[in-house]
Amino acid sequence: MNTLVLAWRNVRRNGRRSLLTLIALLAGSLGVLLFGGYVNDTIHGLQTSTVRTHGHLQVVARGYLEFGRGNPGRYSIRDPQALIERIRGDAVLAPMVRLATPVLDVEGVAGHYAAHASANFVGQGVVPAERREQLAWDGFGIGIPPSPTALSDHEPAAGTIGVGLAQLLSLCDALALRDCRRQALPVTLASAERVPDDVASLAELAAGGAPAAPAEAAAVELLAASPAGLPNVVRMKVLQAERQGIRQVDSMYVAMPLELSQRLVFGPGAKAVSAIVVQLQHTDQLDAARERLRQLAGTGAQALEVLDFHELSPVYDQIIANYATIFQFIAMLMAVVTLAAVAGAVNMAVSERTAEIGTLRSLGFQRGTIRQVFLLEGTLLGLGGTLAGTLLAFAASVAINVSGLSWTPPGRSEPIPIFVDIASAPLLVLATVLGLTLIAALSAWRPAQRAARMEVAEALRHA
């Protein structure tokens, strides 16, 4: 008789025990696939957020990542537009590049002298239209809405700030913010008849040295050090306060048009930038684009380097490693459950069929055949349980995806939908089915060995 048929009959004959084993295997594969699908979607979402913020690649002056914040003049790209045009016109890069845009990092002190308030800020100058395009990247098609921005090409002296910074600068009422805490001014300060000299002089600097005109209700003065160490000041109209996902960032965040940031850092007429952000159509083009971009960046007189988003945002790889560790732990637990369930079922089958084993051996069945029958039983249980778990996981993922559940991940201020993406991870499905089936087969090895080593006479004595 065919050993596969015999193994199948034995599985069906012990229906209750086989069902319990199948349920354990189903639960194991279901857990692995659902969590794996959730991790897969989370990684796609994390990469989408990272690429929207930093781009896939950035071209910067050599050493900018380490020293640029302290010396923006020395570590800036002096002729960014020429390099951008080379990137956009390159025959190799052009099909891969979705966006190439200049940015300027800036930090200093923000003041709202009418409220006698000031705070440190960290900001970035961007091209508003290109910034909106950058925030709309969705290379995986997961539909995460882009973070809103009120920056406009038609208002070159207007920008946005974080809600936390708006609170520090007492702009809650001017910006009509709802969830914004107001601070009570000291009596001596609130009743002061004149603006302090240092604050008034800051306003005058923002006005180009002339006496300060009455400030707009929602406007701030931004002060930053020039490359020579001298102070530069600009007045920026605040279009909107945009809440950031991280409290420390929210209390320092400023975004402004590129030209305004260049005037703040370098003075009138300057065109230097901190970096050129390059966003690709798809992340799998990263290696090829990086190599070509390095070739283009190396042709100019200035020493430039190309950084990818892994280098720009190390926390990305740390989060990925954390999810990978959790997934491996869960997969190991499911493997242990599978091992125990199948080993117990096959071991019980060997004990119950001792006399049957003796009869088969007396009819001429070899030890290897007996071993093969029980190994096939474990394999059939493993394959059946994991396939059923896989089908149930796909059904459960569809139910979760249409349920409308959402959560707010770290670094975001708006909730995003909870999504389990199994369909785009065929290797995960294949590894789960084959892995748990193999573990089931291996867990049947020891009981099968015990059955194969039975002596005929000793086995028949159990009849």
Q: Give the DSSP per-residue string, 4-68.
A: HHHHHHHHHHTHHHHHHHHHHHHHHHHHHHHHHHHHHHHHHHHHHHHHHHH-SEEEEETTHHHHG
Predicted pLDDT at 216: 56
Predicted pLDDT at 206: 53
In the chain, where the domains are located: 3-47+317-460, 63-302
Predicted pLDDT at 321: 93
Q: Give the DSSP per-residue string, 224-239.
A: EE-TTS-EEEEEEEEE
Predicted pLDDT at 143: 78
Q: Which two tokens stand for residue 312?
A: 């720009």
Burial environment of residue 427 by CB neighbours within 10 A (0 to 12, 13 to 18, 19 or more): exposed
Predicted pLDDT at 310: 94
Predicted pLDDT at 263: 93
Predicted pLDDT at 433: 92
Predicted pLDDT at 145: 80
3-state helix, strand, coil in the chain (%, to 5): 55, 15, 30
- Residue ranges, the chain, pLDDT below 70: 1, 183-217, 350-361, 363-364, 409-413, 451-453, 455-463
Predicted pLDDT at 195: 45
Predicted pLDDT at 197: 47
pTM of the predicted model, to two decimals? 0.80
Query: pLDDT digit string (tens) for 384-394?
Result: 999 999 999 99
